[in-house]
Amino acid sequence: MKPNIFPTAEATARGLIEHILRLVSFHQRPTFTIALSGGSTPALMFDLWASDYADQTPWERLRFYWVDERCVPPTDAESNYGMTHRHLLSRVPLAEEQVRRIWGENTPEEEAERYAALVRSELHAVEGMPIFDLVLLGAGDDGHTSSIFPDREDLLTTDSLYAVAEHPVTRQQRIALTGAPIIHAQNVIFLMTGAAKAPIYNDFLQGHTNGPAAYIAHHALYEVEVFADEAVIG
Ligand code: 6PG
């Protein structure tokens, strides 16, 4: 695990965008596939990407997927796609086929299957495993990542590419990328800012694998990068 620590949340977001642009520039294939997480943390990064880095970004090379989505319509305030559309996608030049939304409004079981089939059909695979060029993850205060919550660690090792999950408190259903495709991604990056993430970050540092986020951090095929601000390291 490689920590990249910055003084503020904004500096962290800028550092991450610049790192992603470097990954894209060195990428051999024409298309660079990115699976995005939702929640609140990425919004600042998306805003800065759309405003200060849009001219430096080869948008035509990018194709966006989602790590997870809440089972709500895209217009719902809870929608990860909706948040990303507001802060990024609506502000940059992307063709429709470059944005692969998870249909939160679909029947969850059907959507997990549909979206997994879509990802399998579009990504290059290694030994049958679709490989994202980049999976951008957050980490919940309870140690979850994607929508793999502590009470569903079976999703870390399931054969399914995407699964139906449920938030343990709100019972909100989610479509979640599972452990294996995350672990096999070419690049896995955690974006964590704010003091609330400090316990999770310390778990990472101490090599604990309790909790899905820490498990991913220590089982990914390639070295996981963590982009965090100083509030996270205390
Ligand atoms: C989601 C996210 C989830 C998120 C963490 C952190 O759908 O909520 O994909 O995995 O990354 O919950 O969320 P915050 O950024 O809001 O702390």
Tens digits of residue pLDDT in 87-146: 999 999 999 999 999 999 999 999 999 999 999 999 999 999 999 999 999 999 999 999
19 forms beta bridges with none
- The pLDDT of residue 176 is 98
Give the HSE-up count for residue 166: Cα atoms under 13 Å, Cβ half-sphere. 6
List the 162-166 sheet strands across, edge first.
Answer: 68-70, 173-177, 162-166
Mean pLDDT of the region 72-83: 98
Tens digits of residue pLDDT in 199-230: 999 989 888 778 999 999 999 999 999 999 99
Amino acid at 174: R
Residue 27 CA to ligand 1 centre (angstroms): 27
Q: How far is CA 225 from the centre of its chain?
A: 13
- The pLDDT of residue 234 is 79
- The pLDDT of residue 41 is 97
70 forms beta bridges with 174
Q: How far is CA 55 from the centre of its chain?
A: 23
- The pLDDT of residue 209 is 76
Residue 159 CA to ligand 1 centre (angstroms): 23
Q: Considering only CA atoms, which of 104, 97, 110 is closest in space to residue 61?
A: 97
Q: Which stretch of 25-29, 30-34, 199-203 has the lowest confidence by average pLDDT? A: 199-203
Mutate to test the pocket of ligand 1, among 12, 16, 68 (most ligand atoms within 8 A of CB): 68
pTM of the model: 0.98
- The pLDDT of residue 144 is 97
Give the atom of ligand 1 at the shortest distance from the alpha carbon of 37.
9
Tens digits of residue pLDDT in 146-194: 999 999 999 999 999 999 999 999 999 999 999 999 999 999 999 999 9
62 forms beta bridges with 32
- The pLDDT of residue 210 is 80
Residue 174 CA to ligand 1 centre (angstroms): 12
State both tokens at 59.
Answer: 């948008």
Residue 178 CA to ligand 1 centre (angstroms): 15
Q: Considering only CA atoms, which of 71, 78, 65, 84 is closest in space to residue 185?
A: 65
Q: Which stretch of 42-46, 50-54, 157-161, 199-203 has the lowest confidence by average pLDDT? A: 199-203
User: For residues 137 and 37, what is the distance between their CA atoms, to the nearest angstrom?
Assistant: 5
Q: What residues line ligand 1, using a CB cutoff of 6 Å? A: 37-41, 67-68, 80, 138-140, 145-147
- The pLDDT of residue 207 is 84
Helices marked H in the chain: 9-26, 42-52, 80-87, 108-122, 179-183, 198-205, 212-219, 230-233
Give the atom of ligand 1 at the shortest distance from the alpha carbon of 42.
15
